[in-house]
Amino acid sequence: MSMEDSKASGSKSKIFLIVAGIVVVAMAAAAVYFFIQYQGIKKNPNQVAQAELNKIVKLVGKLIALPSDESPTLATVLDKDKLKDQPFFSSAQNGDVILIYTKAKKAIVYREKENKIINVGPISIDQKNGTPIALVNAGGDIDATVKKLNNKFNGAITITDTTEAKNKSSVKGVTVVDVAGNNGDLAKQIATELGGTVGSLPSGETAPAGANILIFVK
């Protein structure tokens, strides 16, 4: 093979690798669709230094085209184990940052120490939603409980499900269960408001999928 042929072959290989990389990212973006519940993620735009945000946007912007008509929210992965059920974060590590573009509905996971994009994809976020709460009727007044919760914790919680207790006799009173294990303060506030206690799942009961806090109403 001549030197010219070798160079041509090498150029084609590089072009192929670049195209393949673009295709992989495009496939990931098309395939990924998730709902961020912020478990294991630190997200507080009011406390994120603008300089840090600008730095991350500049670094990521050199690797991928970013939306130009909005400023993203910067989040940090604190506990990857709490995100293991979300495939989008399967390769994330603690310390990775996430640029969240709510208008463009796009999220980008970036690892600064390697200057590497870990994942990118579309997102579905309803910022009005608070911590997902499920209610279990164990003989109490569900309607009154819902009204009281909405009046006291408007915007902080979202009631996602209401079911009947499997064994009402095992529920001794209003019981608030911190299913996710990271909403202790909110669970205590709810228990205080409802005149109940924070406890564990009563015997024979199970927590509905997606609920961070479970309230047994009796």
Confidence of residue 19 (pLDDT cuts 50, 70, 90): very low
Q: Do residues 42 and 80 share a domain?
A: yes
- Which of 100, 122, 144 terminates a domain? The answer is 122
Q: Are residues 118 and 201 in the same domain?
A: no
The yes-or-no verdict on residue 206 having pLDDT over 90 is no
What is the pLDDT confidence band of residue 1, given thresholds at 50, 70 and 90? Answer: low
Instruction: Let me know whether 148 and 98 are in one domain.
Output: no
Percent of the chain with pLDDT over 90: 34
Other CB atoms within 10 Å distance of the CB of residue 50? 10
Same domain, 180 and 159: yes
One domain for residues 26 and 110:
yes
What does the mean pLDDT of the chain come to? Answer: 77
pTM of the full structure: 0.45
Asked if residue 4 belongs to a domain, the reply is no
**What are the φ and ψ backbone dihedral angles of 167, each rounded to 5 degrees?**
-140, 85
Rounded Cα distance between 56 and 48, Å, is 12
Residue 11: inside a domain = no
At residue 18, does pLDDT exceed 70? Answer: no
What pLDDT, on a 0 to 100 scale, did the predictor assign at position 212? 86
Last residue of a domain, one of 91, 122, 153: 122
Taking phi first (over 0 means left), then psi (-120 to 50 degrees means alpha), and beta for anything else, what does residue 197 get? beta
Do both 43 and 116 map to the same domain? yes
pLDDT band at 49 (very low <50, low <70, confident <90, very high): low
Q: pLDDT class for 188, splitting at 50, 70, 90? A: very high
Residue 173 lies in domain: 131-217
Residue 42's pLDDT is what? 53
Residue with tokens 């993203």: 72
Residue 4 in this model has a pLDDT that exceeds 60 = no
Residue 35, pLDDT above cutoff 90 = no
Is the domain of 92 the same as that of 179?
no
Q: Print burial letters for 91-118: b (CB count within 10 Å at least 16), e (below 16).
A: ebeeebbbbbbeeeebbbbbbeeeeebb
Is the model more confident about 205 or about 174? 174
Number of domains in the chain: 2
Say whether both 200 and 117 belong to one domain.
no
More confident: 132 or 66 = 66
Quick one: pLDDT band at residue 13, thresholds 50, 70, 90? very low
In a domain, 93, yes or no: yes
State the average pLDDT over residues 153-174. 87
